[in-house]
Amino acid sequence: MYKSFFLLVSLVLLGCTSMRAPKFETKYKFQEPATEKQRECIVNFKIEKDRCEDKCLMRQRICLSSPTQYPYHNTNCYTRCQNCTFRYIENYKLCGLEVEESKVCYKNCKSLDKTNK
């Protein structure tokens, strides 16, 4: 009896602390192409990325509007579009260009200040 109560309290406290944890997103900085060859190289990949994102957004709208068809739509509808960006980054690098990646806090960032003091 006490074990299950302790487990329940632990899970509730864990949930409360994770709700206030900082949330991060990844930002990318793309090196500007220096040559005409590099510009030409990335044009087709940019078009491919835009098409991928358009298809993905269309699938998201369908997914969100059909919760009975997609029972786990709240989590699954948003995860697929990242593949468009990841593929674009890899192709961008194949053109001989660099991509800088950084993590940026977008939610509950004040708690970071407390831990860094």
The whole-model pTM stands at 0.64
Q: What's the domain range around 81?
A: 34-110
- Backbone dihedral region for residue 33 (phi beyond 0: left; psi -120 to 50: alpha; all else: beta): beta
Specify the pLDDT at position 91. Answer: 95
Specify the pLDDT at position 35. Answer: 95
The token duo for 43 is 């044009």
Specify the pLDDT at position 10. Answer: 54
Q: Is residue 100 part of a domain?
A: yes
Specify the pLDDT at position 4. Answer: 57
For the chain, what is the domain count?
Answer: 1
Q: Is residue 72 part of a domain?
A: yes
Q: Is residue 71 part of a domain?
A: yes
Q: Is residue 104 part of a domain?
A: yes
> What string of pLDDT tens digits covers the 117 residues of the chain?
555 555 555 555 554 445 688 889 899 999 999 999 999 999 999 999 999 999 988 888 887 777 666 555 555 666 667 789 999 999 999 999 999 999 999 888 887 765 554
Q: Which of 116, 113, 112, 117 has its CA nearest to residue 24?
A: 112
